[in-house]
Amino acid sequence: MTGIITEQATAAASGAAATEQFRSKQRAEAADVDTKRVDNLVTELLTAAHDIIRRHKLTYAEYDALKAWLIQVGEDGEWPLFLDVWLEHVVEEVANENRQGSKGTIEGPYYVPDSPRLPSEATLPMQESEAGTPLLFQGQVRSVDGTPLSGAKVELWHADNDGYYSQFAPDLPEWNLRGTIIADDQGNFRIHTIEPAPYQIPTDGSCGKLIAAAGWHAWRPAHLHLKVSAPGHQLITTQLYFKGGEHVTDDIASAVKPELILDPTPVAGGNGREVTYDFVLDRA
């Protein structure tokens, strides 16, 4: 970490914010539940757990430790973090296996809807003294048949140079490094921001205890989060990483795909780096 934050982000605070965001999303996207589908999924999940217990001859001490840990995950508000880090990448893979357009990946726990709307060329909201290498991220949004998508919506959010997200860490402006960019009539966008830093997921809570107990690392590579959409097309949720970056090859969330790795170049005669990345959306 290169900067200073007067009050450190904690797992409990981040977990509470992530849990509330998820609950808000669920209220907005409530759907009917197919009882037969629930029966099949839960039965198979429990059967797999029973098999693990039998094969590894789980002791009562281990069972009690697991029970205490599961309870603590809930009290810490870390279920969104746990699920997004260790399970979501497989859910995303299955959900989008038939897409022909751009590759997606996990949303993660730090998305906040309704970020400020900005024109096709814009600078993300940031502090006057925002640290980090300037980055020009530009591209075009097209349909699978090559048609430019006028007015496509590009939602972008990412961590700062210290690895912190606004609304999930103290001392950051509400919409810092978050924005919704509206592409021009040819689907083009140019976004000025800074390169984010790699970061550790919170390790002072239950997920951190699991990581320590298993001897894993807690790092995610530097990445940009995006949701790209246009009328009549499927929304794509993705993350973009940086070639040669730390932990690109061993992301704790297993979310990196070769198609999602950027290779920025120095800005000619200027400060910072730039990269072009186009999005291709499948029809709805």
Output the CA torsion sign for 179, 30, 141, 101: positive
Q: What is the pLDDT of residues 37-46, one digit of tens each?
A: 999 999 999 9
With cut-offs at 50, 70 and 90, classify the pLDDT of residue 265: very high
With cut-offs at 50, 70 and 90, classify the pLDDT of residue 24: low
Domain of 61, in residue numbers: 1-284
Domain count, the chain: 1
What pLDDT does 34 receive? Answer: 87
Question: What one-letter code names the amino acid at 45?
Answer: L
Is the Cβ–Cβ distance between 187 and 140 less than 8 Å?
yes
Q: What is the CATH number of the domain that holds 156?
A: 2.60.130.10
Q: What is the pLDDT of residues 203-249, one digit of tens each?
A: 999 999 999 999 999 999 999 999 999 999 999 999 999 999 999 99
Name the residue among 232, 259, 207 with its Cα closest to residue 72.
207
pTM, two decimal places? 0.86
Name the residue among 27, 116, 85 with its Cα closest to residue 202.
85
Distance of CA 179 to the CA centre of its chain: 15
Residue with tokens 């591209």: 139
CA separation for the pair 162, 134 (Å, rounded): 14
Give, rounded to a whole angstrom, the gap between the first and last alpha carbons of the chain: 42
> ∠ CA(108), CA(276), CA(85), 5° rounding?
15
Mean pLDDT score of the chain? 92
